[in-house]
């Protein structure tokens, strides 16, 4: 009897396991999840999903389900495949960061800069996962601290951005910006976005910030609708500490991290943002340049381009 247990344990240990996270509210995600699961199982890989998502998916009995959405559910998994739009991919990033398991995103939404593949690529995704034909890169994160009267009242993190925003539509948020312990400027605004290069194509982009290539190590600070002459986007060293001080006489604000987690900011709150200690690991299938990705995602007009002259 013990021999049988040992054999089954050895077999289980040898089985490669992939965790699948999907936005099951989308019909496209349900169909895509079916195709990915079938392909992985045919190749002999194990698949694990959250129980509440499994209830919406027509999955075979061999798929392992886990009840709770905690980082521990990825124990023993070599990869996290996420199917969905930006919101689902950011949810997957929370798992990826906490577990250290690389995330491979399949975009079922509109822009999807965090995604590595589109829904038309599902066969290729399965094949690359099965043959381990992917590379893993690390993306910078942000560690965020909220202080009140010098005391830390909240800690958070972000992959894209930490945004300090006004709550009251009729009154601006009065803030003072600080870089590396020195004041830069103060003004009334709708908010301030502190972003990573990964987040430069997200909220910071909408606020008028620059597009920063992912391999550039830097932090961004982008004002939103600032009532000031000097309210330009700032790009700082990755070792800088950014701070936004909410002024005492201003209405309270709110801190949003990746548009997913919010905490109220009382007047006189101070938000400090620095490079995160723990990166998010992303699985990459191909070496397409970020320039090509940018052109494709935003459908940028490039007709007339002749390319660099050939040297003879």
Q: Return contacts of 118-126, CB within 8 angstroms, 24+ apart.
A: 119/28, 119/32, 121/285, 122/32, 122/35, 122/36, 122/39, 123/35, 123/39, 124/285, 125/36, 125/81, 125/285, 126/35, 126/36, 126/39, 126/40, 126/43
Q: Of 217, 283, 286, 218, give the one whose Cα is nearest residue 18.
A: 283
Is residue 245 within 8 Å of residue 149, measured between CB atoms?
no
Enumerate the active-site residues: 86
For the chain, helix (H) and strand (E) counts, in that order, are 7, 20
Cβ neighbours around 293 below 10 Å, total: 15
Contact 82, 22 (CB under 8 A): yes
- According to DSSP, the β-strands at 103-107 and 77-84 are parallel
* CB contact at 8 A, 36 and 20: yes
Our CA angle for 49, 155, 83, nearest 5°, is 25
Query: What is residue 28's DSSP assignment?
Result: H
Q: Which residues lie below 8 Å from residue 56, measured CB to CB, with a gap of 6+?
A: 24, 25, 30
Is residue 287 within 8 A of residue 137, CB to CB? The reply is no
Q: Are the CB atoms for 26 and 108 separated by under 8 Å?
A: yes
DSSP-assigned beta bridge partners for residue 106: 83, 117
Whole-angstrom distance, CA of residue 150 vs CA of residue 263: 17
């Amino acid at each position: 009897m013990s021999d049988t247990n040992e054999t089954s344990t050895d077999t289980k240990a040898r089985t490669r396991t992939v965790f699948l996270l999907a936005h099951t509210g989308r019909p496209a995600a349900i169909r895509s999840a079916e195709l990915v699961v079938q392909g992985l199982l045919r190749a002999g890989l194990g698949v694990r999903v959250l129980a509440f998502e499994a209830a919406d998916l027509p999955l075979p009995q061999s798929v392992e389900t886990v009840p709770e959405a905690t980082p521990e559910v990825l124990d023993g998994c070599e990869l996290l495949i996420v199917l969905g739009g930006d919101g689902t991919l950011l949810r997957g990033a929370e798992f990826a960061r906490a577990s250290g398991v690389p995330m491979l995103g399949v975009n079922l939404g509109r822009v999807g800069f965090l995604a590595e593949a589109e829904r038309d690529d599902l066969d290729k995704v399965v094949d690359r996962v099965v043959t381990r034909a992917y590379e893993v890169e690390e993306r910078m994160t942000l560690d965020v601290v909220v202080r009140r009267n010098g005391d830390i009242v909240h800690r958070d993190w972000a992959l894209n951005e930490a945004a300090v925003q006004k709550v009251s539509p009729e009154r601006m948020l009065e803030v003072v910006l600080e870089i590396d312990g020195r004041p830069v400027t103060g003004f009334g605004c709708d908010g301030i976005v502190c972003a990573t290069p990964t987040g430069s194509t997200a909220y910071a982009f909408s606020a008028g910030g620059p597009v920063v290539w992912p391999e550039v190590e830097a932090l961004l600070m982008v004002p939103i609708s600032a009532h000031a002459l000097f309210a330009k986007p700032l790009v700082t060293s990755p070792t800088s500490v950014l701070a936004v001080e909410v002024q005492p006489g201003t209405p309270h604000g709110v801190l949003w991290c990746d548009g997913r987690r919010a905490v109220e900011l009382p007047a006189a709150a101070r938000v400090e943002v620095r490079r995160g200690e723990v990166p998010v690991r992303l699985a990459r299938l191909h070496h397409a340049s970020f320039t090509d990705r940018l052109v494709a995602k935003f459908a940028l007009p490039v007709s007339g381009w002749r390319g660099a002259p050939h040297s003879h």
